[in-house]
Amino acid sequence: MPAKDDYIAAIDIGTTKVCTFIGAVKKNNILEIRGYGVSECSGIKKGMVVDINKATKSILNSVEMAEKSSKIFVDSAYIGITGKHISFINNWNEINLSSANKIVKKADVDKLISIANKINISSQHSIIHTLIRQFSVDDEKGIMDPIGLSADKLGVEILAVYGSAALIRNVVNSIKGANIQIEDIILEALASSEAVLTPEEKESGVILLDIGGGTTDVAIYQNKKMVFTYCLPVGGDLITNDISIGLNIPLIKAEEIKKKFANVDYNFYETLNRMNIGDVKIDRNKTTLNIRLYSIVNSRVKELLNLVKEKIESYGYIYSAPCGVVITGGTSQLKGIIGLANSIFNMPVRMGVPIEVEGPSKAVANPIFSTAIGLLKYAFQIENFMDLSQFGEKKQRGTGIFYRFRDFISKILKSEG
């Protein structure tokens, strides 16, 4: 069993729940979940803190549950971030090599990275990740590790993910209110991808959708790298809301009906009847009720998936995903959604649950925990990376080169400290 110090914690602050996961990576590279806690979330909507005190209370609850179940004390954690304020930019930078023999050295890469690091964004924004997409030596692109190559010019393309500094600060403050130190802040789409996508999918090209309660997080991978991310501030709760309005029933009943009977496949609509709705009065026969439920849910989900598709199309990435679409998050469990997504995207679609993870079955085989598990997986990559003094060694661990600049978020963390 790994030492206590080997365990790390991650907190996913979702629209419907806050969860804290504690885990360690075993020798065979499998993540082991040692404990977890889930509390109902209040004070957070669509990735944004709307009530700091309530959010802090939910966070504390989930941390305490995770501590109890693992008997490990949590004083610091990796935190997920999402919301429609998140955006990204792609940047190329280049330097001329000055050394006499023109061989790329670590010092050249460091110099280039520090230039690429100076990203021009407004003071209202804060960088969350700076991920290396590729290097170039002279005119040759697609280089993953340039050290040792001979060149006149060395270039790097980076993908910088950023968000609203004020909104990130709110998340930071609600975590600090729970007396938890923040190790780092990680984009939720990146985390969910880490949990459910296979290395082959990431290499060939794949679209990840994490459809939660309040948001749909999107990440697209090509050549092992995330090349696009987007957060649509719409999730499964809107479906519940529409069922409630459309059938004139309370939200709590609408949520139950959605999970048990809603099906976006027309062939399976005959399940709901007045008995299921219980003592809530509804003046419709069984068939009308079912057609109504089908049409509410089907049109909502269609609309959501089409919005995502249009966004991806507008960036020109729709034809660069031979492995198709992987859907995770709570709403991936909606009956018929895989088939509907398949017909909308016209590509293979599968449901994504966390892979290469062991632990209590309720915690590991559930798409609502993809983000939390992915946060741990991603965090372990960062921790490995931090231990490495040699840039080139990163690749040997099979994780690919990705340089991170911790300065940006740590500025926020320091100013709040």
User: What does the binding site for ligand ATP look like in residue numbers (CB under 6 A)?
Assistant: 14-17, 47, 212-215, 235-237, 240, 255, 258-259, 329-331, 333-334, 368
In the bound state with ligand ATP, the residue whose beta carbon lies nearer, of 82 and 126, is 82
258 binds, among ligand ATP, Mg ion, none (CB under 5 to 8 A by kind): ligand ATP
- Closest separation in Å from C-beta 117 to ligand ATP: 30
Helices first, then strands: H and E counts in the chain:
14, 17
Coil, strand or helix: which one is 147?
coil
In the bound state with Mg ion, the residue whose beta carbon lies nearer, of 205 and 214, is 214
In the bound state with ligand ATP, the residue whose beta carbon lies nearer, of 146 and 213, is 213
In the bound state with ligand ATP, the residue whose beta carbon lies nearer, of 11 and 131, is 11
- Closest separation in Å from C-beta 330 to Mg ion: 8
In the bound state with ligand ATP, the residue whose beta carbon lies nearer, of 225 and 258, is 258
- Closest separation in Å from C-beta 78 to Mg ion: 15
- Closest separation in Å from C-beta 254 to ligand ATP: 9
62 binds, among ligand ATP, Mg ion, none (CB under 5 to 8 A by kind): none
Closest residue to Mg ion in the complex (CB): 212
In the bound state with ligand ATP, the residue whose beta carbon lies nearer, of 43 and 236, is 236
In the bound state with ligand ATP, the residue whose beta carbon lies nearer, of 183 and 237, is 237
3 state SS for the chain = CCCHHHCEEEEEECCCEEEEEEEEECCCCCEEEEEEEEEECCCEECCEECCHHHHHHHHHHHHHHHHHHHCCCCCEEEEEECCCCCEEEEEEEEEECCCCCCECCHHHHHHHHHHHCCCCCCCCEEEEEEEEEEEEECCEEEECCCCCCECCEEEEEEEEEEEEHHHHHHHHHHHHCCCCEEEEEEEHHHHHHHHHCCHHHHHHCEEEEEECCCCEEEEEEECCEEEEEEEECCCHHHHHHHHHHHHCCCHHHHHHHHHHHCECCHHHCCCCCHHHHCCCCCCCCHHHHHHHHHHHHHHHHHHHHHHHHHHHHHCCCCCCCCCCEEEECHHHHCECHHHHHHHHHCCCEEECCCCCEECCHHHHCCHHHHHHHHHHHHHHHHHHHHHCCCCCHHHHCCCCCCCCCCHHHHHHHHHHC
320 binds, among ligand ATP, Mg ion, none (CB under 5 to 8 A by kind): none
Binding mask 363-392 for Mg ion (x = CB under 5 A): --------x---------------------
259 binds, among Mg ion, ligand ATP, none (CB under 5 to 8 A by kind): ligand ATP
Instruction: Determine, following the binding rule CB under 5 A, whether residue 80 of this chain makes contact with Mg ion.
Output: no
- Closest separation in Å from C-beta 388 to Mg ion: 31
Instruction: Determine, following the binding rule CB under 5 A, whether residue 212 of this chain makes contact with Mg ion.
Output: yes
Closest residue to ligand ATP in the complex (CB): 330
Instruction: Determine, following the binding rule CB under 5 A, whether residue 14 of this chain makes contact with Mg ion.
Output: yes
- Closest separation in Å from C-beta 12 to Mg ion: 6
- Closest separation in Å from C-beta 100 to Mg ion: 53
3-state SS of the chain: helix, strand, coil percent to 5? 40, 30, 30
- Closest separation in Å from C-beta 161 to ligand ATP: 17
In the bound state with ligand ATP, the residue whose beta carbon lies nearer, of 74 and 232, is 232
330 binds, among ligand ATP, Mg ion, none (CB under 5 to 8 A by kind): ligand ATP
Q: What are the Cα distances from residue 399, in Å, to 372, 375, 378?
A: 19, 15, 10
In the bound state with Mg ion, the residue whose beta carbon lies nearer, of 212 and 374, is 212
Token pair in block for residue 242 = 């529409």
- Closest separation in Å from C-beta 250 to Mg ion: 24
Instruction: Determine, following the binding rule CB under 5 A, whether residue 214 of this chain makes contact with Mg ion.
Output: no
Distance CA 400, CA 296 (A): 44
126 near 162, Cβ under 8 Å?
yes
| Site size with Mg ion, rule: CB under 5 A | 3
Distance CA 219, CA 232 (A): 12
In the bound state with ligand ATP, the residue whose beta carbon lies nearer, of 259 and 284, is 259
Residue ranges binding Mg ion (CB under 5 A): 14, 212, 371
